[in-house]
Structures are given as structure tokens and as C-alpha cells.
Structure 1
């Protein structure tokens, strides 16, 4: 093989490593934020991602033209992960600053940047994080606290200050970190955060207090989060189910089903209770457009083995019926097909009763 051909082949292999790192990490991240997450597949993808990261480690600076090009052409979370990971791997301060600026411009809270920080060894990123959590820049404080969450690192006396930070996202992440670390000394600050103007702060403060075993007022705050049906409602419901009296929680969920606003959250909550005997009831909910997606997610949580069965879900609302086409219009959504789920359940012998 000619020298020029060897260079061309090597360049193409390196380009593929860059593209696969971005693609695989983004795929894994999406699987982990799906409802419910597919942890088994995500773990398999993690291994494949690491293999391609090894290719970038070996390539060193030669990988940068490809990483820069792919981020410029497609600045999404996977490409930001590759850019950020390589910048930290090579301790390239200019590239790290660029990655921070790219993360600031995203509309997904810089998932690619934070994912790269989570992937690296905590000792590698420690100097960066120490600078970021005390920075005047709120975004840097946010990614600093997020990195502490990823690695379970305690910023010690700084955490109380971060829970009271002027920036809402920093406050929310700091409250989450306090719960992760079981920082009971911050209970008073977390109690105060239950009255925050922002739902995310109230949710994570309530979650943290329940983790600390200080639950009464926190449960009230989380109930409000659920009843307001905001973006943190589903997570709040899961915490309440895990930490509360099951009979009381079931009765409350029944009340949530009476409102069109909270009915999807309530149906999703039925899957969190872990009772597989509700399958017949869930299949009937799959026939109702307003709660069908929630019923499908609840079904997968209760019957994870159904993930391997093709055809139970469809991205075309027409497969579920004309009412679904009208309800979802042009929205992108994957729905369970009730008749197919019912047939699968009977064949699998899991359709055991009704509620």
C-alpha cells in the first residue's frame, strides 16, 4: 500500500472513531433519559464508547481536526461530549474554555459537557471543578456542581453557599448534591429552599430532605410539584411512592386520575407501585389518547422483558386509531398498541387479573 493510501485509511479510521464516540454516547444518554431507562442496553453501549475513546487517546492531537469539524457541522450533545472529553483528556485549557462556551449555548443544560466530566476520573477534573464552583460565572458554578454530583464529591463548606446561589439551576443542583451526600447539616437551608420560586429547586430540596429522613414538609412540597404537573412531577411522584405509606399514596393517585392535567402522571405512577396485576387496567388506558403514552411507560417498567418484543409500540399514531391521530397531530411520540400488548400478555401468561 502506498504511503498516501495509508494516511487516507488512517484518517478515515480516526474520523470513524470521532463519529462513533459522538453517536454512541448520545445514544446511551438518550436511553438513560427515556421513560423508563433501558439500563442493560446503555451498559453495552458504554463499552463500545470506551473502545472508540481509546482510539482518540491513541491518536492524540491528530484527532482534533475531525472533532472540530463534526462539532461545527452538527453541534449536538454527542459532538459536545467528544469535544469536551478530548479537551479534558489532553488538559488543553483553550479547548476546555471552548467546550464551556459551547455548553453554555446549548438548550439541554450542556448534557454533552457534563457527560464528559462524568466520564473522566474525578482526580483529572478536580482542578477545574474547584475553580468553577467559586467562579463569578453562574454557568461554570452549575457545571461544577453537576460534576460533583456525577462523582459524589463533597465541596464541603461551599455547598451551603451554593444552595443559596443567585442562579436557580445552581441552587437546584446544590440541593440535589446535598441529598446525595446526606448532608444533614444543611437541613435548614434545604427547608428554606422548599419555598423557592422555582419548581426544580423545590423538588430537589424536597427530595434531599426525604433522603435525610426529614419528610413531613418535604412531602407536602413534592405533592404540590406533582399536582402542578410541571417537568419534575414524575420524579416527585416516584419519591413520594418510595417514601410514603402505600395505601395513602394509592388513594392520592386515585384523586390525581380525576383531572385531565394530572391523569397521565397518575397512570405513570401505577407502574411505579410495582404491582403487575394491574396489566389489564393499563391495557385499557392504552386505548385512551390522553394517558396512552403514560400507560406504555408504566407497562415497560412492570414488564421490562417486553422491550425485546417487536411491534408492541409504534411511532405512527394511526396504528393506535383515528382518535390518536387527531390527539397527537404531527407530534413525535411512540405509543403502545393496546391489542398487540394484550396479545403478547396472553401469550406470555402475564395477564393475571383486573383492578
Structure 2
């Protein structure tokens, strides 16, 4: 086998190897969007992951040529090239290349996501020894990478996590890891971060505390962040609304309604709150082009209805300017976060709701067509789009504190295997 591999490596054509590298770069970038997309299910993610794996295999089979081309690409590094090079460095046990990539990611934070995602992509067995060395490093940056790897693979960091959570330089990553791993023994340490002046640390502390079972201080902190327009509003609101009772959820939604800048968050929040009383309001918003698709998604979050499959969608409006445009002088280059969501047919949806509303009693917390339950969450993880799958993973941990957070960004084949184990 080694002779055959060597022969293949020697015969590798540079243009073909370059194509593998380019494909890996592009597919990794596409994947970073799809793992958060509302319309992408596990089957579609699997198809992309198979293509990405084939490109990485091509680089691996190319041997030294593949390594040299990865090194050349690092002269102008991007997240995709750092991802591909890191996967190769881990799988070939290349300490010199891995050292270079760690130093590069620390110096160029924009590439860090590529490096970290590579640690999540490779099998846990490939990280034996590598993760332990990172956790024992003298540098907090590398210890953080080790903790992130443990969180993605549900591997126990042991005393390294206990030490990190008390280290100001590592507190944020340590608390994030504790929450993802279900380390309820570290709940007290996570709660200490709620009074921190740094908003990111407060958010991470509150998120992990909530996942680990706290329903008091963390709820207050997340509710406060949910009412502040800023980088943590959406994540805070969509998490805390999953544990609030009807009265508490209504109070938070009223707070969002008082701020005109929070109307999108209000529309999303009604879907997360899951109370069918809000469905008529959502249907009314479907006539507003700026909110229509988001309102349709929230309607689907409650009812479980696939608007496209049920023929309850319309063609996109003509000449509607939403999201980035082709004008090079236009500074608005942000992606449309509603991209790929169906445009709801308000009339048909109104008729459907009138016929089906009795199935959804007011005051309930509905998710994907029925009350929240472990079985429903498992079904959503198997068949729904990524946004709803992320919500299902959070529900599973919230319903049973100490349950590790299901990694909906893991390679699709690993997720499918884990789901088969959970179902069994």
C-alpha cells in the first residue's frame, strides 16, 4: 500500500492538487455559512462534507506536493487554507507545520476560525497527544485551542478545565467549554462571571450557567442582554426564551416591542417562545417585505410546517433591494440573514391557520409542531434545517442539565452516528 501511495504522490499533477486546495478553501467557507442556515438539513450538509473530505483526501494523497502547496498558500492565508493545512498537519503528525499554523492564527485572528474548525473536523483519535500538549502549554492561547477541541469532541479536559476557569486569561473559553460539556460541578464558577464588566464574559457566563441548570441569576442576565441592541442580543434572547414561562416570555417580548430597532428580534423571539397566541401577529408581519421571511420562519418554528413543501410560499418580489448589492460604491456588503427562507403566501397561511389553530392551544410552548420533548428534539436533529437543529440541541441540554451540547457543526457523518446512538 505504501508503494502504491508513493507512486500516486509522485505522479500527482500540480494543477490537480491546486484544484483540491482551492476546492477545500471554497467548500470550508460555504460550510461555515451552511451550518447556520435555516434551509440546510443534515443530508445536504453530508453531501457538502463528502465533497470537502474528497478534496482533503486529494491533498493527503499528493504527499509532499500537497504539503508544499499548502505552505505556499499560507503566504496569503485565509480561513479555508488554514483549515486545510491544519487538517493535514494533524493527520500527518507534522509538529513543525502545526506550530507554524498555531503561531499564524495567534498573529492573524481572522484565520483563527479556520484553525479551530480543523480540530473539530478531524476524528478525536487523530488528536491524541496533540490536545494534551495544548492543554499543558505555557501559553493561554494554545490552552484555549485545546479546550475548544475538547468541547467539539465532548472530551473531558480534566484538571486543565478546573485551572482555566480560575484564570482571567482563559475564563471565557473555560466557561464556554464547561457549558458545552455539561460540567454542572463548575456551575458556581460560571455564575461568578455574571458580574464581570466585559459583556462577552457576562454572556458566556450566563449562557453556560443556564445550560448547567441555573434558572435565576443567569436568566436575569440573559434577559437584560436580550433587551440591549448589540452583538449578544439575538443569542441571549433565543436562549433565555426557551426556559421562560408564558408570563415571563410575554414580559420580555413586550420589552422588545418597545424598541423599534428590536422588531426583527421580536419577530424571531415569538417563534422561540412558541406560544400559538402570537401566530396571528406573525401572519400579519408576512405582508411586510422586511419581515415576511423571518415571520414565516417563526411560524414554522411553532407549527413545524415546511412552507415550501406545503406549497405555502410565493415567488420573491421583483426589484426588492435587501442585503448586499453589486454597486462597488455601496458600503452595505452584509449578507441577507433571511437568504434562502421562503416568501410566505399570507392568504394560504391564514387559511391553513384557521383550519388548524385548534391543534395549537394558546399558552403552550410549541416547537416544530408540538410541545417540547426529548423525542421531538431528536426528530428535529435528524430532519430539520440547521437553525432549528441548533435550537433542538439547546433544548436537550436545558431539559437535562449535565447533558453535553450536541455539536450541530460537526462533520455530518459523525452527527449521524451520534444520532443513531441517541435513538438506540
TM tier, smaller: 0.7 to 0.9
What do residues 94-116 of structure 1 show as CA deviations (whole Å, max 9, x unaligned)? Answer: 11011112222444471110111
Q: 1:125 to 1:9 in 2, by over 3 A?
A: closer
The superposition leaves residues 221-243 of structure 1 with CA deviations (integer Å, 9 ceiling, x where unpaired) of 11122122332222222221222
The DSSP-based 3-state class of the residue aligned with 2:63 is helix
Change (3 A) 1:22 1:345: farther
Going from structure 1 to structure 2, the CA distance change for 1:331 and 1:284 (only over 3 Å counts) comes to farther
2:198 pairs with 1:194: no
Q: CA deviation at 1:19?
A: 1.6
Hey, what's the Cα distance between the residues in 2 that align with 1:78 and 1:304? Answer: 35
Change (3 A) 1:177 1:342: closer
Could you tell me the TM-score, scaled by structure 2's length?
A: 0.68
- Distance verdict in 2 for CA 1:319–1:218, change over 3 Å: closer
Shift of 1:24: 1.3
Relative distance call for 1:348 and 1:287 in structure 2 (3 A) is closer
Q: Does 1:332 align with 2:300?
A: no
Q: Is 2:27 the counterpart of 1:24?
A: yes
Is 1:173–2:146 an aligned residue pair? Answer: no
2:62 paired residue among 40, 59, 69: 59
Quick one: distance in 2 between partners of 1:204 and 1:312?
A: 40
Q: Give the 5 Å matches for 1:157-168.
A: 157-167=159-169
Query: Which ranges in structure 1 are unaligned for 5 or more consecutive residues?
Result: 1-5, 321-327
After superposition, what is the alpha-carbon deviation per residue over 1:190-242, rounded to whole angstroms, capped at 9, x for unaligned?
11111122222222222222222222111111112212233222222222122
The answer for the alignment partner of 2:373 in structure 1 is: none
Residues 347 and 221 from structure 1, CA distance in 2 versus in 1: closer, same or farther, beyond 3 angstroms? closer
Among candidates 47, 51, 75, match of residue 50 of structure 2: 47
Question: Distance between the aligned counterparts of 1:315 and 1:67, measured in 2?
Answer: 44
1:277, 1:352 within 8 Å by CA — same for their partners in 2? Answer: no
Aligned residue number for residue 115 of structure 2: 113
Match of 2:402 in 1: none
CA distance in 2, matches of 1:241, 1:109: 33
Partners of 1:329 and 1:280 in 2: CA distance: 36
- The aligned residue for residue 104 of structure 1 is 106
* Counterpart selection for 1:343 from 345, 350, 371: 345
* Whole-Å separation in 2 of the counterparts to 1:199 and 1:77: 26
Higher relative contact order (CA 8 A, sep 6+): 2
Structure-2 residue corresponding to 1:83:
85
Distance 2:120 2:159 in 1: 22
Counterpart contact for 1:36–1:297, Cα < 8 Å: no
* Mapped contact 1:283–1:341 kept (Cα < 8 A): no
Quote the Cα distance in structure 2 between the aligned partners of 1:222 and 1:352. Answer: 35
**Corresponding residue for residue 324 of structure 1:** none
CA distance, structure 1, for counterparts of residue 246 and residue 72 of structure 2: 53
Pairing 1:15–2:18 present: yes
What is the aligned partner in structure 1 of residue 401 from structure 2? none
Runs of at least 5 residues in structure 2 that lack an aligned partner in the other structure: 1-8, 324-329, 363-424
Tell me by how many angstroms 1:251 deviates: 3.2
Deviates most, 299-308 or 12-21:
299-308
Query: Higher helix fraction: Structure 1 or Structure 2?
Result: 1
Change (3 A) 1:91 1:149: same
| Kept after mapping to 2: 8 A contact 1:67/1:82 | yes
The two structures, once aligned, show a CA RMSD in angstroms of 3.7
Q: Hey, what does 1:137 align to over in structure 2? A: 139
